[in-house]
C-alpha cells in the first residue's frame, strides 16, 4: 500500500464484483481494490478456492464474500472440438461477459438504484491477446475473446453516451504460475510461445514505482486527448 499512487480510501463505499476473482490476476485485482477501500464480491470455480480467497482477503481486513461458479477449461485441437463445445465456450466467455454487463446495467447507470444522478459506474472487462495473431489449441477461446473486445467497445459507446457508464477492457498476455496457464498451455509448446513474448518469457509479478505509474498515466492521458478515437455522432 505504501507504494500505491492512490489514496488508501480511494474506493471507500464502493462494491466490486470480480468474476474469476479467487485466483491469479483476478485475485490480485480483488486484493488491490479491497486495499483501497472497496468491499469485494468474488465468483469463481470451486468452493475450496473461493473459501481460501475470501479468507485471505479477510486476513487483510477486506470485507469480502465468495460465490461458486461452474464451468470447464479445456484445450482441444480444432478437429477434436465439436460445434457444441465451441458454442459452449462462446457462451461462457462472450455471452457470459455480456450477461454480467446486462444484469449490472440498472445498478451502474446514472440515477440507478442506490446511485446518484451525478454519474454512472464502471465496468472493466478482461480479455486476452490470443486472437491478435493465432494460438495453438485456442480457436474457441480466441473467437470468444474477440467477441468480448467487440462487446466492450460497443457498450462503451452506447452505455457511455446514454447512461454515463465508463467501460474499458484490458488484455493481459500469458501470466506464468497461474491456474489459466497451467491448464491451457501444454508443456510441449511453452518454450515456443515464449519466443513471441516481448521479453521472451511469460509475465510475472513486477514492482513498478508509483512515480512510473503516474508518468505512464500522464502519457496515456495526453495521447488520448490529442488523438481521440472517433465515434459515431448519431445513433442512426
* 175 band by pLDDT with thresholds 50, 70 and 90: confident
Residue-wise pLDDT tens digits, 191-221: 666 666 666 667 776 777 778 878 888 888 8
Residue-wise pLDDT tens digits, 123-150: 999 998 889 888 888 899 999 999 999 9
pLDDT of residue 1: 45
Residue-wise pLDDT tens digits, 25-69: 889 999 999 999 999 999 988 889 899 999 999 999 999 999 987
Distance CA 81, CA 71 (A): 16
Burial class (CB in 10 A: 0-12, 13-18, 19+), 93: buried
pLDDT of residue 189: 56
pLDDT of residue 30: 95
Integer-rounded Cα Rg, in Å, for the chain is: 19
Distance CA 16, CA 27 (A): 12
Torsion of CA 14, 66, 6, 107, to 10 degrees: -30
For the chain, what is the largest distance between any 2 Cα atoms, rounded to a whole number of angstroms? 54
Q: Which helix (H) or strand (E) holds 42?
A: strand 39-45
pTM of the model: 0.74
Distance CA 43, CA 70 (A): 10
Buried-state track 183-196, b at ≥16 Cβ within 10 A, e below 16: ebbeeeeeeebeee
The average pLDDT across 4-9 equals 84
Do 144 and 89 contact (CB within 8 A), yes or no? yes
Distance CA 137, CA 157 (A): 33
pLDDT of residue 153: 95
Give me the chain's average pLDDT, please: 84
Would you state the CATH architecture of domain 1-70? Answer: 3-Layer(aba) Sandwich (3.40)
DSSP codes, 150-211: HHHHHHHHHHHHHH--EEEEE----BTTSHHHHHHS-HHHHHHHHTTSTTSS-B------HH
* 72 band by pLDDT with thresholds 50, 70 and 90: low
Distance CA 131, CA 133 (A): 5
Amino acid at each position: 500500500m505504501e507504494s500505491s499512487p492512490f489514496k488508501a480510501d480511494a474506493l471507500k463505499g464502493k462494491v466490486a464484483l470480480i468474476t474469476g476473482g479467487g485466483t491469479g490476476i483476478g485475485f490480485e485485482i480483488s486484493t488491490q481494490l479491497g486495499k483501497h477501500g472497496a468491499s469485494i464480491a468474488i465468483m469463481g470455480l470451486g468452493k475450496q478456492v473461493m473459501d481460501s480467497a475470501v479468507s485471505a482477503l479477510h486476513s487483510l481486513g477486506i470485507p469480502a464474500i465468495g460465490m461458486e461458479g461452474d464451468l470447464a477449461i479445456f484445450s482441444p485441437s480444432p478437429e477434436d472440438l465439436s460445434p457444441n463445445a465451441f458454442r459452449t465456450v462462446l457462451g461462457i466467455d462472450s455471452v457470459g461477459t455480456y450477461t454480467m454487463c446486462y444484469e449490472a446495467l440498472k445498478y451502474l447507470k446514472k440515477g440507478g438504484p442506490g446511485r446518484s444522478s451525478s454519474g454512472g459506474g464502471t465496468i472493466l472487462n478482461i480479455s486476452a491477446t490470443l486472437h491478435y495473431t493465432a494460438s495453438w489449441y485456442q480457436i474457441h477461446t480466441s473467437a470468444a475473446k474477440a467477441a468480448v473486445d467487440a462487446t466492450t467497445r460497443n457498450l462503451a459507446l452506447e452505455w457511455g453516451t446514454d447512461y454515463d457508464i465508463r467501460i474499458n477492457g484490458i488484455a493481459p498476455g500469458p501470466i506464468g504460475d497461474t491456474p489459466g496457464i497451467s491448464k491451457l498451455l501444454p508443456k510441449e509448446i511453452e518454450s515456443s510461445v515464449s519466443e513471441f513474448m516481448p521479453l521472451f518469457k511469460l509475465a510475472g509479478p513486477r514492482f513498478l514505482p508509483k512515480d512510473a505509474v503516474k508518468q505512464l498515466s500522464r502519457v496515456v492521458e495526453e495521447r488520448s486527448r490529442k488523438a481521440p478515437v472517433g465515434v459515431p455522432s448519431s445513433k442512426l
